[in-house]
Amino acid sequence: MKKRPLILDGATGTELQKRGMPAGVCPELWCIDHPEVIGGVHADYARAGCDIVYTCTFGANRFKLIQYGETDARSVNHRLALIAKEALRGKALIAGDIGPTGHFIQPFGEVDFEEAVEVFKEQAAGLLEGGVDCFVIETMMDIQEARAALIAVKETCDLFTMVTMTFERDGRTLNGTDPLTALTTLQALGADAVGCNCSTGPDDMARFIGAMKPYAKIPLIAKPNAGLPKTAGGRTVYDMDADEFASRAGALVAAGAGILGGCCGTTPQHLAALRKAVARKKPASPLRKSLAALSSARKTLLLEPGRPLAVIGESINPTGRKALQEDLREGKTALACQMARDQEAAGAALLDVNVGVPGIDQEKAMQKLVQALSVATALPLVIDSAKAEPIERALRVYPGRALINSISGEKEKLRKLLPVAAKYGAMFILLPLTDKGIPETAEKRAVVVRAIEGQARKLGFTRDDFLVDGIVMTAASNPKAPQETIRTVRWATETFGARTVVGLSNVSFGMPERKWINTSFLAMAAASGLTAAIANPASEELMFVKKAADVLGGRDRDAAAWIAHCAKAAGGGKKGAPIEDLPPDRKVREALLDGNREAVAGLVGEALKAGLDAAKLAQEIMIPAIVEVGERFGRKEYFLPQLIASGETMKIGMEVLEPFLKEGLKTAGERGTILVATVKGDIHDIGKNIVALMLRNHGYQVVDLGKDVAAERIVREIERHRPRVVGLSALMTTTKTQMKAVIALARKQGEQCPFIVGGAVVTKAYADSIGAEYARDGVEAVQVIQRMVR
């Protein structure tokens, strides 16, 4: 790779089909029966100049082979590796190919994580016995499955292992992982090269490689299809010939790929052309030796200098939280997941997870909670435990790169946790205390930091892989303690060159009005270069100070996050104030047209105070305004949310107006009663609710019977309310027939009231057939009913 990119092979499946493999067979088993054919494909790729050729074992895992009645996955892999070895005879290296199982792994699917690891270990063992030179885990769309496969290979041998994910054109895997997140997770977990294959052609793939390159400490792989798949004459074809495919190689190398190959639709000719095209292109070396970043399955948080201070949400900790303790005891995760969502919405960047309830199996509880949180939130997790076992369990099953809270200089912790952190590539919070206790001064803490770092270096860690904990002590018991924390943070940032973190709220313990102490301390620490704070993101004061500190510390470019935060805090989603210089009646009209529910009550009151007649306001301003809304909806100038917002605004306005209307002029119910119901068996009633709102705003008294209403009840209510019209709704073909039953029963019992029907599956023809009127939406329902009652 120092002189030119390494070349991987191209497509195997399409080559096998060209050479006689019938559709619908298991390619791996067919190749065992036809070793000369797959051997020919391997040899052709070697002749084309490929440096590494994949074994034909993409689907040779237990889950897939069993579908064809084969149960000995290890033997299948072994034999196919031997076939590759025999065909290549040292002319190219052999990569043991591991593809997806076709199932999703917990927490995203039903397959137990350890079962998946075992399935991949079985495959890896067979390939290793067959003599492969390296491994490739490819076409992964689930980061958790990629992790399971990588762990399996790493626990089987120490051969060079590549992992390639499949991204859709939107830049994410089907399971929502973006290229940077895949890289962050997989390179931390020990992949020797990471990249992408399949799914897209070379053009899109250059984008994905480009997104990874600035953060890669390992070589990047691009193995694109020969363009995008198209169907022609019943076959799937790819639109790039060998020359066109090769012409895109330069862009891939420029984007940062150091290992190239071809996927679906490519042939030995494509690979020969590719090899020729990059013969003199020197790939760029990885830009980094280390990366300070954490990831979930869907998101990466870079802890680079100049990035905003990260708030680590502290709520998921049972200490002092009885409800959470109870949930964890009962094996429930719902409350913790809600806490996660709330903290995410409040602006947390990471979530601390602690299951320290006495008497429970913390290892089991931690696994369950981490898996649930991996689904509930996109934020990366901080695994917080005083014990090593729950941390190890969490790191194994967590589909991202987590942060350990924490590893101290205590001998037992160092011995147990450093190797675990190294194995799973986790970052950790370095807590500068020892078996002798907490050093009081920053200088003494620095000595401990350096000692722990020395141990960590032996396992491959760098200063980018941990955050130094400033150790926050209570100001109430030691007035000098906060200063020592700040000095520790400053030393770690400016002298030592590491990231820093503090557990904020401890500083104010025992003090009144703690939030002010906490926020002031945060501002001081932020000014000293603090990277992250474990704190409560629900504290408005704290989040304002954090955002302000980001601006003042040059960590919020153009103050964009600050401005957005202020807009949100000011209720940016609410309607603006109406134009001040309009007369009061026009303001009411504008509020109705704008659907300004917040303002309309005040504006109607203001209009009445200004001397406007209530009846006139209703008849000449409000009703015409709501009619105009309906007309705008009919012309498609308004869509449904605007129509309904105006309808709800009208309702609020009329409620204010109603007491001021003289008897006889009241609009509510003046046009008579309409009875509405969603018929028996049907639970879809939002359309009926819209119709009810529209009718009320047009002066009808609406009796809404709700959904799933039996014919007998509807007829009883007709008898009771004597409505001028009955409206029925249904969404399903099966429940539509209930409309007919209701009308038939009503007629049988002598009720002659007219019916109007509507709903997704109801048509005018159907309405005609059952003797009812029809309306397609709320606005039309009002028009039709007005005609019916005239």
Partner 1 sequence: MDRLITFERITIEPPLEAIYRRLGYRKGLTQIKSDEARALGESIEQARSLITLKGAARRLPILSKDSRQIRLPGNLCLESTLLAALLANSQEVLLMGATTGAAVIEAIRQYTAADNLTRAVVLDAAASEMVDSALDWMEAFFSRDLRRESRRLTKSRFSCGYGDLALENQKLFHDLLDLGRFGVELTGQYILVPEKSVTAVAGIETTG
Tokens of 112: 């137990």
Nearer to partner 1, 465 or 682 (CB): 682
Burial class (CB in 10 A: 0-12, 13-18, 19+), 737: middle
CA–CA gap between residue 730 and residue 740 (Å, rounded): 11
- Helix, coil or strand: residue 226: coil
**734, 681 in Cβ contact below 8 A?**
yes
- How would you classify the pairing of strands 235-238 and 229-232? antiparallel
107 cis-preceded (ω within 30 degrees of 0):
yes
Minimal distance in Å, beta carbon 677 to partner 1? 15
Tokens of 763: 């048509």
Nearer to partner 1, 75 or 689 (CB): 689
Nearer to partner 1, 638 or 774 (CB): 638
Minimal distance in Å, beta carbon 231 to partner 1? 8
CA–CA gap between residue 383 and residue 393 (Å, rounded): 10
Nearer to partner 1, 236 or 285 (CB): 236
Minimal distance in Å, beta carbon 63 to partner 1? 8
Minimal distance in Å, beta carbon 207 to partner 1? 18
Minimal distance in Å, beta carbon 735 to partner 1? 6
Instruction: Output the CA angle 238-144-357, nearest 5 degrees.
Output: 165
Which of 585, 576, 577 shows the shortest CA–CA distance to 622? 585
**134, 95 in Cβ contact below 8 A?**
yes
Question: Buried (b) or exposed (e) across 240-249, using 16+ Cβ within 10 A?
Answer: bebeebbebb
Nearer to partner 1, 484 or 685 (CB): 685
CA atoms within 13 A of residue 734's CA, in its CB half-sphere:
6
Minimal distance in Å, beta carbon 110 to partner 1? 4
Minimal distance in Å, beta carbon 729 to partner 1? 14
Backbone φ/ψ region at 442: left (φ over 0), alpha (ψ -120 to 50), beta: alpha
In 296-390 the beta strands, taken as DSSP E runs, fall at: 300-302, 310-313, 350-354, 381-384
Minimal distance in Å, beta carbon 645 to partner 1? 4
- How would you classify the pairing of strands 499-503 and 466-469? parallel
Nearer to partner 1, 384 or 594 (CB): 594
Nearer to partner 1, 102 or 305 (CB): 102
**125, 110 in Cβ contact below 8 A?**
no
Minimal distance in Å, beta carbon 701 to partner 1? 17
Nearer to partner 1, 598 or 751 (CB): 598
Nearer to partner 1, 102 or 214 (CB): 102
Rg, C-alpha atoms of the chain: 34
CA–CA gap between residue 235 and residue 536 (Å, rounded): 57
Nearer to partner 1, 335 or 524 (CB): 335
Minimal distance in Å, beta carbon 601 to partner 1? 13
Nearer to partner 1, 710 or 788 (CB): 710
Minimal distance in Å, beta carbon 133 to partner 1? 24
455 CB-near residues (< 8 Å, 6+ apart): 414, 418
- Give whole-number Cα distances, 201 to 27, 138, 204, in Å: 24, 16, 6
Distance in angstroms between the alpha carbons of the first and the last residue of the chain? 85
